Amino acid sequence: MEIRNLLAVYSMTKSKKDRKRVSLYEFMDKFQTEQDAMEYIESIRWANGRVCPRCNARETSRASHKTMPYWCKPCRKYFSVKTGSLMEESRLPYKKWLMAIYLLSTSLKGVASTKLGNDIAVRQPTAWFMAHRIRTAWANNASQLFGCEVEVDETYIGGKEKNKHKDQKLNAGRGTVGKTAVVGIKERDSKQIKSIKVADTKAITLHQIVCDAVADGSTVYTDDATAYEGLEKQGYTHETVKHSVGEYVKGQAHINGTESFWSCLKRGYYGIYHKMSPKHLQKYVDEFSARQNVRALDTMVQIDCTIRGLFNKRLKYADLISGPDGRLH
């Protein structure tokens, strides 16, 4: 179930203050042994009964293999809940995975890999790789379009403050040299965010992003950047707020939702991560969007959403550190 559907179900049954929080202590107390942790992850992946991750066959049985406790009859291969997931080939205990997932899912500004490494007792490079795999679980594959009232805004991440001219410092202006642009889209009803790294902020790029993410006939709120002009021709009602003349709210025409998301992202950038390379930026913005999108849910549901994203995806270390030319960086 997509998170916005999950949220719709929750908002009918409970209010934000009823959300059930679970502390790290309570969470880890559920898993006395590795077996407990493994069974918890299995219960999420195989809620409707165990199937082979390779061929989806139900003809599987328990096996005596040390790390892969199941056997698929048609494939004639062993497997575990890690097979065909972002945890594949990881020798780390399930309990460490669960603790890392808890910390990353619940820390609004993110967790530095040095801190994560210290907290779960693994080396920093291991923690860095784990965190990137968890971010990959959060990649937004939602196919549903946003609708009704939608805010669209862009910001810039990166670049060295000391290299900038005095009057550009702390000013995320358009086209700022050395920075990478990110477009944020927020559906007001569901409070869901999508954020997308873009090569530029030209009209053709921004219009395409809006068309790919927002249903026809919706009202799109933006600032008065010329790149957004002409959205009416794409089938939207377009309302603008004139930031260039100091106007921030005009009736319903504001983009405060996307702007508060940028401020959260920037607190994480300046306070925790310090650097988000253009290469990995999409993963970081996915991380901040995913956390924002599940904020109203119970802690255990937040964790379940993250765990569900781990399956049927792979991220190899060599791919993570290699450049576009295929060389290691």
Residues engaged in binding Zn ion (CB under 5 A): 52, 54-55, 57, 72, 75
Nearest distance from residue 34's CB to Zn ion, in Å? 24
Compare residues 58 and 329 and give the one whose CB is closer to Zn ion.
Answer: 58
Q: What does the CA dihedral 108, 114, 119, 125 come to, rounded to 10 degrees?
A: 110
Nearest distance from residue 84's CB to Zn ion, in Å? 10
Q: Tokens 């971010």, residue?
A: 135
Q: What does the CA dihedral 62, 64, 65, 67 come to, rounded to 10 degrees?
A: 70
Compare residues 56 and 141 and give the one whose CB is closer to Zn ion.
Answer: 56
Compare residues 55 and 203 and give the one whose CB is closer to Zn ion.
Answer: 55
Nearest distance from residue 56's CB to Zn ion, in Å? 7
Q: Tokens 């020798």, residue?
A: 91
Nearest distance from residue 97's CB to Zn ion, in Å? 23
Q: Tell me how far apart the alpha carbons of residues 85 and 62 are, in angstroms, rounded to a whole number.
A: 20
Residue 154 Cα distances to 258, 287, 298, 303, angstroms: 8, 17, 30, 29
- Please give the biggest Cα pair distance in the chain: 70
CB-based contacts of 292, cutoff 8 Å, min separation 6: 191, 193, 261, 264
Q: Tell me how far apart the alpha carbons of residues 206 and 210 are, in angstroms, rounded to a whole number.
A: 6
Nearest distance from residue 83's CB to Zn ion, in Å? 10
Compare residues 57 and 148 and give the one whose CB is closer to Zn ion.
Answer: 57
Compare residues 83 and 222 and give the one whose CB is closer to Zn ion.
Answer: 83
Compare residues 88 and 223 and give the one whose CB is closer to Zn ion.
Answer: 88
Nearest distance from residue 50's CB to Zn ion, in Å? 11
288 DSSP 8-state letter: H
